[in-house]
Chain A
Amino acid sequence: MSFPVFGVPTPPTAGKATDAAVQPVDPMAHLVLDHVSVHYEGQTQPAVVQASISVKSGDFVVLVGRSGCGKTTLLNTAAGLVTPTGGAVTVDGRNITSPGADRAVVFQNDALFPWLSVKDNVGFALKLRGVPQQERDAAATRLLERVKLDGIGGKAIWELSGGMRQRVGLARALAAEPDFLLMDEPLGALDALTRERMQTLLLDIWAANSVGVLMVTHGIDEALLLATRIVVLAPGPGRIVRQMEAGFGRRYVGGEPVRSIKADPAFNRARAELEDSIFEGETA
């Protein structure tokens, strides 16, 4: 297995700020989808066949592919929300059959709880564990700062913009202190400008938290900018056709501005290659 490597891979430890340096406290966690197949009941064709993906702490794995090729299915399988009909999902060798707080999920339409204030949304995972209100509030304040939403803890969900809601969803997932962050088109509903700012925020948070990320996106540039590895799926039935390493996100974490990364001819070459593999075999 040798993947083409794009960009200059800078080790993630070369953080741009001291607090952004990745020093995993926990031992490395390892999420594995091992030859996973999903055949939804009543469907003529399986949604996914024999897909194998590995996500370790510090990995940023991005799933791309045309609509209907099984990206959401794979992500939900990793989350434990969908049970595979073949193969297995394991975390550190343990079989996964149900969702758990070690794998927090961020949904496309934020899925926040409108009956709770912003800070209570963020503190939800802690409430489930019986953490007292005061500690929850302190944690929420800290997490909201981290997603650059200081001081909105008392607001109601419907008072927020789409970008703010996505960040609250992210903070809520981070509150569970997950080993893995599973995100299904987390920036899909945002306008282009907000989306770019959120991309760098995701990288900052990824670098600061030593989490393993598995993310679905439709954005090719987004995949290239964020991923340490890009998994390309093809439809009919959904299957992995290619996995390639990328290092542009690490360059951003290492201190290089996004604009300079995107201006790099290597970025354009990588994009062309990625587009080719997404639309491979398609006669258009």
Chain B
Amino acid sequence: MTLSIEASGDIADAAVGSVPTEPKAKPSAKRTARIASAVTVTGLLLLWIVSAHFKLVSPVFLPSPAAVLWKFYSVATNGFVDATLWQHLLASLLRVFAALLFALLVAVPAGIAIGVSAVGRGIFDPIIEFIRPIPPLAYLPLVIIWFGIGEPSKILVIAIAMLAPIAISTAAGVKGASLDRINAARALGATRLQVIRHVILPSALPNILTGLRIALGAGWSTLVAAELVAATRGLGFMIQSAAQFLVTDVVIMGIFVIAGVAFILEIGIRRLERLLVPWAGKE
């Protein structure tokens, strides 16, 4: 129950995004926030540069920004633990997207079932509510016992983390579908299945995309845990291997790459939202 509220809050935010709600105070407040962010980031960066330069912290623990940047270049070209940065990145991206595909195939129908039928709600609500709060590291061992240490287990661990956000957002979107539109379709001769396919699904699309965005975030943050197990490639694997040898610059570089990719994915999905649901917020 609690997350349904959270999810709808997030959806409300997403819907409000393109509509100016607080016309007056907003622009200056936004600017203030931007300035504060810029100052913080610059400050942290300066602190890092200064402490690295004067060796306030041992370089083993805190390498300089220049060293990290250099590592980025060297791992990108020469590689680390038998693979270049791009190969690690590709391995991780493939895992996350395979997991996303799997999660979408399972969670969207489940979300629709929760939204359209009491039986569906009765079946899937408890499962989703059970999975939702469990940290991936907790079910990782069980997944390994059941499915071994191969690629499927890694993908499954990430996918499980993605199920709840997608299902909950989808269900919220389904419940929010306009009754008038559903009735209009029925009065034009739509069967129950046609109503779901042609009215409910498109109505829920904005929410499904929001769920997808949250899920990608969740999946991306589960990555390192998933790659703990018998991986030979992947950003999480790269970071862990580096940590074992105390190659801190690679660890930090890896963290920045993960953050950067997450940021790019976020922007990509917002683009996708604008492309797929251009009507959102225009009604």
Contact = CB atoms under 8 A, between A and B. Distances in A.
A105 B187 contact: yes
B202 A115 contact: yes
Interface string B157-189: 000000000000000000000101101111111
B189 A101 contact: yes
Contact of A115 (B187, B188, B205): B205
Interface stretch (A37-45, A122-130, A255-263): A122-130
Contacts of A25: none
A81 interface: yes
B277 to A, nearest CB: 7
Contacts of B277: 115
Which of the four size classes fits the interface of chain B?
20 to 34
B282 A114 contact: yes
A79 interface: yes
Nearest to A108: B180
Nearest to A129: B189
Contacts of A79: 183, 187
A104 B187 contact: yes
Q: Is the interface of B mostly helix, strand, loop or mixed?
A: helix
Contacts of B283: 114, 158
Contacts of A158: 279, 282-283
B178 to A, nearest CB: 7
Nearest to A100: B189
Query: Which of B180, B194, B283 has the most A CB atoms < 10 Å from its CB?
Result: B180
Nearest to A176: B188
A17 interface: no
A107 interface: yes
A220 interface: no
A111 B199 CA distance: 11
Given A113-B198, A115-B203, 18 more contacts: A79-B183, A79-B187, A80-B187, A99-B187, A103-B187, A104-B188, A105-B183, A107-B180, A107-B183, A111-B181, A114-B283, A115-B205, A124-B188, A158-B279, A158-B283, A175-B188, A176-B188, A182-B187
